[in-house]
């Protein structure tokens, strides 16, 4: 009679029974962000503008393009009950002065100044603040305003994109928490040729979106909405898996089935890797759309990632 004995071999590691891996268990990996803010512990975000169209011989990015900065100066008379012309960018300077978003007009000093007691001083006296011309070419309205300090020059202020970045900071975006089967840890080993499942564990507004936030600066108010476009999984064996969804959590009843939307199969053992394990890194690619100041735009963010390690062994069948 022939007896079949199946065992898992992973050089340098303890030999364990294969039965533990024929039905892998769900993983809830205890992972950390690859780069964090030392003051807050939050994942750091940096901007990358992807090569959306692609170049000859290289794949393109099918996501939306990053659309730039937007104009810092804009007309929006809706706060004054003026709906025509509609809100939109305007030149930051003209022969009538510099543009102020807060006043909705071009600003220039009044010369010569009227004498003390003139109604234009609105109860103030010369030397207490100053008088400015405020001209709206959209309506043809020219008025005189008094201000203690010169009205802000919007051409020297933040762009809509800059304000959108303030809104993004309020979102506190974070890398996903990695879910993976087989489960990470010294007592768990997957098998060469067996499906590996990857997913975002308990995705929420801050780890997967969509999430919305607003910010104001320089007379500009911007509302931004962020969502994850895809998650790129570096499997540690030279393979990258791009998943357009949050992935599906593994359940024991799935057995040896492959993940329907985010999975990988290792072709060799992790025995010769550092710590005898593959380092798996999940990097999120975010798309942020912003609107305000009569304009819209898109910002692309990459770089939010987390890592974990999993061990993969080889099953050998011995025939006696």
pLDDT digits (tens, 9 = 90+) for 205-257: 999 999 999 999 988 999 999 999 999 999 999 999 999 999 999 999 999 99
pLDDT digit string, tens, across residues 250-295: 999 999 999 999 999 999 999 999 999 999 999 999 999 999 988 9
Scored b (16 or more CB within 10 A) or e, 53-84 reads eeeeeeeeeebeebeeebbbbbbbbeeeebee
Q: What is the mean pLDDT of residues 16-42?
A: 34
Strand 190-191 relative to strand 312-319: parallel, antiparallel, unpaired? parallel
The C-alpha atoms of residue 131 and residue 41 are separated, in whole angstroms, by 49
How confident is the prediction for the chain on average, in pLDDT?
82
With 0-12 CB in 10 A as exposed, 13-18 as middle and 19+ as buried, what is 309?
buried
**61 — pLDDT class (breaks 50, 70, 90):** low
* pTM for the structure as a whole: 0.74
With 0-12 CB in 10 A as exposed, 13-18 as middle and 19+ as buried, what is 19?
exposed
């Amino acid at each position: 009679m022939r007896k079949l004995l199946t065992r898992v071999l992973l050089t340098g590691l303890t030999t364990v029974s294969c039965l533990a891996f024929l039905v892998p268990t769900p993983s809830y990996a205890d992972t950390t962000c690859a780069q964090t803010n030392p003051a807050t512990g939050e994942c750091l975000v940096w901007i990358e503008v992807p090569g959306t169209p692609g170049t000859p011989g290289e794949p393109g990015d099918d996501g939306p393009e990053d659309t730039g900065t937007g104009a810092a100066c804009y007309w929006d008379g809706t706060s004054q009950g003026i709906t025509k012309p509609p809100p939109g960018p305007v030149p930051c300077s003209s022969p009538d002065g510099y543009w102020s978003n807060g006043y909705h007009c071009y600003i220039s000093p009044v010369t010569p100044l009227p004498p003390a007691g003139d109604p234009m001083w609105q109860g103030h006296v010369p030397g207490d603040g100053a008088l400015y011309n405020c001209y709206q070419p959209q309506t043809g309205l020219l008025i005189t305003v008094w201000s203690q300090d010169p009205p802000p020059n919007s051409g020297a202020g933040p762009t809509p994109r800059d304000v959108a970045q303030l809104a993004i900071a309020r979102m506190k975006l974070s890398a996903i928490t990695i879910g993976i089967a087989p489960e990470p840890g010294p007592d768990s080993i997957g098998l060469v040729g067996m499906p590996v499942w990857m997913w975002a564990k308990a995705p929420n507004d801050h780890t997967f979106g969509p999430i919305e936030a607003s910010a104001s600066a320089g007379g500009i108010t911007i509302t931004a909405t962020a969502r994850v476009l895809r998650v790129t999984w570096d499997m540690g064996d030279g393979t990258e898996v791009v998943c357009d969804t949050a992935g599906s959590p593994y359940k024991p009843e799935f057995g040896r089935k492959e993940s329907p939307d985010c999975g990988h199969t290792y072709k060799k053992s992790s025995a010769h890797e550092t710590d005898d394990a593959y380092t798996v890194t999940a990097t999120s690619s975010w798309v942020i759309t912003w609107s305000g100041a009569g304009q819209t735009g898109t910002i692309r963010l990459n770089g939010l990632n987390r890592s974990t390690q999993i061990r993969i062994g080889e099953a050998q069948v011995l025939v006696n």
